[in-house]
Structure 1
Amino acid sequence: MKPFCIMVCALILSATTASADFSISFKWGDIPLCTSGKPNRVGNPQFVLKGVPQGTKVIEFRLKDLDVPSYNHGGGKVKVSGDGRMPAGIFKYKSPCPPSGAHTYEWTATAKNGRQVLGTATARRRYPE
């Protein structure tokens, strides 16, 4: 029984280690200033991905307002490029648009091969900055 546990634990550890270096960064870019609480449909910011897990075919992006997590800002799916840069404007989403003061927003990038999740990375920024 112990050798089985050691093998399973090693597989889990290697899968965790493989995606542990997966990271994402972004800047808001040239989106229109919005503080009315009524988001604009805008093109995604440029993303820089590092440590994309081997075998990744698609990255799914989702934006969440951490101050109002129930609001769906949307996101998109992008095929993986070789250099880790995802250009601006590939997909449309509802821009950040807090009605009072700045909010903290989080992009989540999920690396997938079909339905299999290979890793997840997040990056946060305030808006307006």
Structure 2
Amino acid sequence: MRVGKVPKGTRKLRFRMVDLNAPNYPHGGGTVAWSGKRNIPYGAFRYKGPCPPSRHTYQFTVEALGAGNKVLGRAKARRAFP
């Protein structure tokens, strides 16, 4: 996964994926240390990929965390699957 435009002072990135049609389904996510490199290594956090019985919409969120886990920035994207 590649990331860009990360705010200055970022120490961690927190990822989350939510199925907007089934928000209680535990897709997962995680928090990784930000090293300043644009690539997040495969397996850095856990999630269950989309596999809905019908068309569902997913929201992906990444938050840039600074000292004391203060949110410095947030990006969201939505996509329907399949």
TM-score > 0.5, shorter chain as reference:
yes
Match of 1:86 in 2: 40
Larger Rg: 1
Amino acid at match of 1:83: K
2:8 counterpart of 1:68: no
How much does 1:98 deviate?
0.9
Q: Which has the higher strand share?
A: 2
> Separation in 2 of the partners of 1:55 and 1:102?
38
Match of 1:102 in 2: 55
CA deviations on 1:29-74 (whole Å, 9 max, x unpaired) are xxxxxxxxxxxxxxxxx2x222111100000001101122232211
- Equivalenced residue count is 81
How much does 1:79 deviate?
1.3
| 8 Å CA contact retained: 2:11, 2:35 | no
RMSD of aligned residue pairs (Cα, Å): 1.6
| 8 Å CA contact retained: 1:52, 1:84 | no
| 8 Å CA contact retained: 1:63, 1:106 | yes
Instruction: Mark the runs of 5 or more structure 1 residues left unpaired by the alignment.
Output: 1-45
> Separation in 1 of the partners of 2:42 and 2:12?
16
Q: Which has the higher helix share?
A: 1
Question: Secondary structure at 1:111's aligned position in 2?
Answer: strand
| 8 Å CA contact retained: 1:66, 1:104 | yes
Match of 1:54 in 2: 8
